[in-house]
Amino acid sequence: MRGEAGSRGCEILCDSYHIRKGKPKLKGLPASFGTEEEVETLEVVCVDRELRLKVILSYSVFEKSDMIARNVRLINEGEEHLRIEKVLSACIDMDDEEFEMVTLAGGWARERRLQRRRLTYGKQMVSSSRGESSHQEHPFLALVTPETTYQTGCVYAMNFVYSGNFVAEAELNQHDAVRMVLGISGEDFCWNLRGGEEFQAPEALLTFSDEGFGKMSRSFHDFYRNHMIRSPYLHKKRPVLINNWEATYFDFDTEKLLDIAREAKKAGIEMLVMDDGWFGKRNNDDSSLGDWNVNKEKITGGLKYLVEQVREIGMEFGIWFEPEMISPDSNLYREHPEWAIHIPGRKATESRAQYVLDLSNPEVVDYAYECVAKILRSAPISYVKWDMNRQLCDLGSSYLDRVSQQELFHRYVLGLYEMQERLVNEFPELLLENCSSGGGRFDAGMLYYSPQIWCSDDTDAVERLSIQEGTALLYPLSTMGAHVSDCPNHMTGRITSFETRGHVALFGTFGYELDITKIPEQDRKMIPSQVEMYHKYNDLVREGDYYRIASYRENHKYDCFLVAAKDKSEALMTFVQVQCIPNFHGKKIRLQGLDEKALYRLEGTEESFTGEMLMKGGFVIDFMQGDAVSRLYHFVANF
């Protein structure tokens, strides 16, 4: 905290506290929620009497969920102009237990790969300063005891409910004490706290597991399902969709989309999603963002006609937007170049031939929101894919005054949240899927507005094993956008069986990203059975407990995971053999999450096993020939 005199310092001392049932909302920010029976909140009031600054430390305890939600609110009760230069949402101090630091790292098309290293003396951190949360690093940090696995060991974990810049840091000091912190990154951040104003920091979630990563994951999954996601789709099957992006890219028109819809309907697919290229003069990615008017040369008859035709075929309709962006080649930019984030007097940096709209400006927020809303009001559209395809740079705002420029990153995120809050309120039945060049903004903050997020632009089934493992470390399977795409895969060139692609996508939202009119006949004939498979198992996948049994990321040979019903009445296990090893016997797998005393029948066979046999003795996976082949095993209890 820096005062008007220029000195930097803050000495806050405990003044009072109070405990209340329930949990208050955070103004303008996503946050967890719960009833008075589910959560109790401790508020510790601290003051710096010299600065006349009040700091409220809030701890909301969800006892049954093994979760604490922590946030900080700062109130300037004086007249002096204060400047917040650093504010963290969580801090834990403890003795070292020879901790290892666990984070999620990656990049575009390689998101959320688990990273683990010994915590050494000094500060170790992960962070984002790109204006989004989760391509290269992720707003998550865990400290674990040595030899911690998915089943054993102690885990102290934090996850940030925020979609912008963050810092997650662990420090081992000279006294062998450890400090963990999580909050908004201090890089390019400074907030003006004038007299009578307050600043609300985002929420951090803290949990502890004494049963390894597995218990931590299940705690986060249940918490997000019960106390973060608000969508009416939370406990519903999502419609099986087909997206035209990898099928056509920008080369489509009404008839091409209707051809896809007709063929998809025959196969049991339930929704057609029209991706990028339907507006302005957008025949490639170098123009028209901001000009959200239907291109009637492509969409002949207009959008309403197309939607009605798709619905007559018997399918729902979805549409793609990128509302936060503006193309230099657009009518909007020609009319309002000042609406793009840029440094005055300097040439702005283009990425993907686009700039970022300045969402710190309420006029821009209103315009961007209305672009989406007017389209949704014009036709019966059931689904929106909300994309964001570049990071923020060249930070400058024509709207903010000179002393407020370093507020831009945070104000941008607040503007985004405002738009999505308005969207879910005006269109409460809309299925919203967030996206940011794939998984660049896959975080708990976005789940507050959308029940699912596109997991990665990399749809290769083998690559998805590691991406979805890292994502499922924190987030429910039902939140992970996952599709069956064409082969050779458009990104990696890898060829995998249509069956394996379906099995991997099943443990996500499940859909298709291909031209169903052109794929091999044998693949097309498999789609009805895959759709049937989705409807049969989705309730279990969506609501059950997730167990990681083996990791291809670790062993480089095979992947295995399982979802068990809460009442242990059934379990669905997926085994993916990535690399076939010749002259090798079957693989013994020990299941998890079953009732030891119950008798389980393996579906499709006459074989039965007790839960104890399956978990302690193991189940043998027979030898399979070929790379990237997979099997599903459904065990049903006979109580």
Q: Is the distance from CB of 29 to CB of 202 less than 8 angstroms?
A: yes
The one-letter code for the residue type at 600 is Y
Q: For helices 521-543 and 498-506, what crossing angle results, to 10°?
A: 20
- Give the separation between CA 134 and CA 216, rounded to whole angstroms: 20
CA within 13 Å, CB half, 327? 19
The torsion angles phi and psi of 540, rounded to 5 degrees, stand at -70, -50
Longest dimension (CA), the chain: 80
Annotate 343-354 with DSSP letters as a single string. -TTSPPPPBTTB
- For residue 549, the 8-state DSSP code is E
Which residue from 472, 516, 43 is spatially nearest to 244, judged by alpha carbons?
A: 516
- Give the separation between CA 251 and CA 234, rounded to whole angstroms: 34
CA distance to 167, 191, 218, per residue, from 212 (Å): 24, 39, 11
Query: What do you get for the CA distance between the two ends of the chain, in Å?
Result: 62
Token digits for 39?
């959560």
Exactly one of 222, 275, 358, 457 is catalytic; name it: 457
- Give the separation between CA 362 and CA 365, rounded to whole angstroms: 5
Cβ atoms within 10 Å of 569's Cβ, excluding its own: 17
Q: Is the distance from CB of 32 to CB of 205 less than 8 angstroms?
A: yes
Distant-in-sequence, close-in-space partners of 306: CB < 8 Å, separation ≥ 6: 254, 257, 258, 274, 299, 317, 379
Active site residue 253: no
Going along 25-176, which residue ranges are E strands?
Answer: 40-48, 53-62, 67-76, 82-84, 88-95, 100-105, 113-118, 122-128, 140-144, 155-161, 166-172
Exactly one of 387, 458, 486, 515 is catalytic; name it: 387
**Cis peptide bond prior to 380, omega within 30° of 0:** no
Active site residue 457: yes
What is the three-class DSSP state of 162?
coil
- For residue 613, the 8-state DSSP code is I
Q: Is the distance from CB of 126 to CB of 102 less than 8 angstroms?
A: no
In DSSP terms, which residues pair with 322 in a beta bridge? Answer: none
Q: Which residues are catalytic?
A: 387, 457
